[in-house]
């Protein structure tokens, strides 16, 4: 594993944030399936349904995590290999959790 | 030759924004893959990084326009609830769920499409920003290029699911 450069760290932070946004989406999809209260909470705009909340909060997680990581790592650099692995794992989990046979296991659809 | 307001938005969402997104994704793969110092001069690197930044920004913009128009405009018409005695053909979600032969198009196809599509703008935006922040250094940075190419490939697959299911669902139960 090798340390990234300053410019690479900026890129890696945005990629990890992308993974966090994807995983948040996956978790919210499953949470809405599993819990009626969560589903109602996410349904803040009825014509769109719970998808409104799932996607809005995933976008918020993406943007906020990007901002926080940028602040935390403004004077530091990331391990390139670990950051890339983290990104792929987070995105992979997000994709798996957004697959209907997977998220439907969390509740009666 | 007529087209309704809803049909126009459906076309804009799928063929306009979505179609352009696929073109940008393919361009991004070709652009990043061939961005190597041995294939071009220093002047060429300078010119290509500008072009790459513009293309990748366009890719990110198209991905956001596709999911926002899909979720906040077209999807509202798709999931609209029919009133008593209404023609189900006007209400795609309920039309698909009304028959065992079509309900999987909603329960599997639409459910997958509406969710997985949102991963694409996250990846597209982060890839565009990554190339912008590294700049000309990217030409010699094989490890980052490799990661970005894999990410674009993943986002291409995530975009293909809604693209394919969207086309089929609109064929079976069109938003009119």
d(CA B153, CA B23): 13
How many domains does chain B fold into?
1
Pick B143's closest partner by Cβ from A80, A95, A101: A80
A73-95: average pLDDT: 97
**Band of pLDDT at residue A37, cut at 50, 70 and 90:** very high
Of B86, B84, B109, B83, the residue nearest B96 (C-alpha): B109
Of B17, B48, B15, B57, the residue nearest B30 (C-alpha): B48
pLDDT at residue B1 in the model: 85
Strand ranges (E), A1-109? none
Pick B79's closest partner by Cβ from A10, A49, A59: A49
Say if residues B118 and A62 touch (Cβ distance below 8 Å). Answer: no
Q: Is the CB of A14 less than 8 angstroms away from the CB of B133?
A: yes
Whether B81 and chain A come into contact, CB under 8 Å, resolves to: no
Q: Is the CB of A100 less than 8 angstroms away from the CB of B137?
A: no
A48-67: average pLDDT: 98
| Tens of pLDDT, residues B58-93 | 999 999 999 999 999 999 999 999 998 888 989 999
d(CA B145, CA B126): 13
Q: Is the CB of A80 less than 8 angstroms away from the CB of B67?
A: no
Residue A56 pLDDT greater than 90, yes or no:
yes
- Could you give the percent of chain A with pLDDT greater than 70? 97
Whether B168 and chain A come into contact, CB under 8 Å, resolves to: no
**Band of pLDDT at residue A108, cut at 50, 70 and 90:** low
Residues of chain B with pLDDT under 50: none
Of B68, B45, B44, B48, the residue nearest B125 (C-alpha): B68
Provide the domain limits for residue B135: 5-172
Q: Is the CB of A48 less than 8 angstroms away from the CB of B116?
A: no
A75-102: average pLDDT: 97
**B119-134 vs B19-33: helix crossing angle, rounded to 10:** 40
Q: Is the CB of B114 less than 8 angstroms away from the CB of A14?
A: no
DSSP 8-state assignment for residue A5: P
d(CA B28, CA B6): 31
């Amino acid at each position: 594993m090798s340390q990234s450069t300053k410019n690479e760290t900026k890129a890696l932070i945005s990629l990890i944030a992308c993974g966090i946004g994807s995983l948040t989406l996956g978790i919210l999809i499953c949470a809405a399936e599993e819990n009626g209260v969560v589903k109602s909470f996410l349904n803040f705009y009825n014509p769109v349904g719970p998808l409104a909340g799932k996607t809005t909060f995933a976008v918020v997680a993406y943007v906020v995590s990007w901002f926080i990581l940028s602040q935390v790592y403004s004077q530091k650099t990331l391990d390139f290999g670990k950051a890339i692995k983290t990104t792929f794992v987070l995105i992979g989990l997000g994709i798996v959790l957004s697959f209907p046979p997977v998220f439907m296991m969390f509740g009666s659809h | 030759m007529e087209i309704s307001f809803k049909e126009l938005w459906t076309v804009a969402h799928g063929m306009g924004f979505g179609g352009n997104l696929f073109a940008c994704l393919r361009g991004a793969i070709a652009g990043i893959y061939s961005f190597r110092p041995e294939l071009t001069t220093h002047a060429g690197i300078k010119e290509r990084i500008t072009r790459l930044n513009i293309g990748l920004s366009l890719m990110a913009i198209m991905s956001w326009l596709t999911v926002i128009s899909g979720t906040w405009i077209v999807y509202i018409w798709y999931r609209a609830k029919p009133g008593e005695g209404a023609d189900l053909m006007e209400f795609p979600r309920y039309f698909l769920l009304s028959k065992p032969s079509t309900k999987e198009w909603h329960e599997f196809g639409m459910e997958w499409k509406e969710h997985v599509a949102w991963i694409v703008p996250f990846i597209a935006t982060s890839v565009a920003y990554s190339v912008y922040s590294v700049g000309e250094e990217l030409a010699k940075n094989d490890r980052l290029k490799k990661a970005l190419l894999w990410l674009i490939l993943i986002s291409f697959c995530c975009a293909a699911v809604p693209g394919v299911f969207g086309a089929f669902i609109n064929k079976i139960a069109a938003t009119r």
